[in-house]
Structure 1
């Protein structure tokens, strides 16, 4: 990720575990961050997160989910985290189109801090995110635009990306997506993300 203050590289391990009939899911995020900045540590752990999601309504072509995440103030370097504990409730709506070849996911999320370092700025961000995915064969392509309004800064911190993915085996998928930030208070200029998804 390229920012005005240098570059950040994040390697993130994410585990999602279904519970029972898979209407409930647990999520754990463990980020390791390397930076080309004025950071005290050049490589260290970031803010660790966990969350839970619940799908109360699911039909053949559409569904609704609720999600809640908490990110802890665990970053080993002030530049690698918010300095705050952050709670993120969200509601998600998803709908398939044209025999499940297209999927639209719309998310409304609020991110608010409730504890942490007094000298760090409070977090109050509202996010409206829309993702469109197209599936063809073993591949998919996605586009996303996320509008983020930071109440503390009174500025927009939006971003968008295009994603390309492919199923390598029935249980292993890979993807890559370039992204860009835009808006008066954007947090980064551009970035590239690549990942491996392992289903189990």
Structure 2
């Protein structure tokens, strides 16, 4: 059943791609033009995330590159994570995590709302078992974005499913569904965001939810920085608390 849901998501994505928009949709002033979530400019995102877990801490430094293509209703994404551990009971390690690549498509985009679909794939490239899943994982997602209060607030909701389809037989399958809601409040050069993600892990048969509050600021019109502390909750939570700091360069 879980794999059938994955296939439906993939068919959904390619069905939309058959109806690609002819105009350069980046010229439409809408919710996917916001600097924090801009689909239409080349973007370099460098962030560092610290997570406290019951087995020590994990620190991930990730380089993400976003590149619009075609009429800019399409967007390519690449992720290169470097992970380190701090565990008092074992040797600390640093190395490459599971690298990923994806493609997004925007089938509907207007001044105050828009839809987007995305498919990502992560590869089992991690140098240590606890740095990755050991599996090839497909991650389709659907996004809806809408402005409120004279475009002072932006709501972005998404549904995403991660499903492993190949990889080491000695590693557990990956099957996780996430429903996420992100609300951003813009004022001047700053923004504040709140986010709650309800995450169900079918393999563990439990919830791995988390929530964060984000504080961000435009350093220049096309350079931004943010910080967001987060907390996990649920019966099968994967960490206790964390903090992420990032720098975005748009060009």
State the TM-score, normalizing by the size of structure 1. Answer: 0.98
CA separation of 1:41 and 1:83: change in aligned 2, threshold 3 A:
farther
> What is residue 57 of structure 1 aligned with on the other side?
108
**SS of the residue 1:79 aligns to:** helix
Whether the aligned pair in 2 keeps the contact of 1:133 and 1:142 (CA below 8 Å) is yes
For 1:41 and 1:118, how far apart are their aligned partners in 2? 26
Q: Which runs of 5+ in 2 are unaligned?
A: 1-50
Is the aligned partner of 1:23 residue 2:73? yes
1:36 is aligned to 2:79 = no
After superposition, give the CA deviation of every residue in 1:46-99 in whole Å (9 maximum; x if it has no partner): 000010000000011000000000010000011100111110001100001122
Question: Larger % of strand: which?
Answer: 1
The answer as to 2:142 corresponding to 1:91 is yes
Q: After superposition, what is the alpha-carbon deviation per residue over 1:104-139, rounded to whole angstroms, capped at 9, x for unaligned?
A: 000001100011111111011110000000000000
Instruction: Mark the runs of 5 or more structure 1 residues left unpaired by the alignment.
Output: none
Q: Is the 8 A contact 1:40 1:77 kept in 2?
A: no
TM-score, reference length from structure 2: 0.78
**d(CA) in 1 for partners of 2:184, 2:178:** 19
Matched-pair contact (CA < 8 Å) for 1:39–1:77: no
2:62 aligned residue (4, 7, 12): 12
CA RMSD in angstroms, aligned pairs only:
1.0
Alignment of 1:80 with 2:131, yes or no, is yes
CA contact 1:163–1:176 (8 Å) conserved in 2: yes
How far 1:39 moved relative to its partner?
6.3
More helix per residue: 2
User: Which of residues 197, 207, 222 is equivalent to 1:146?
Assistant: 197
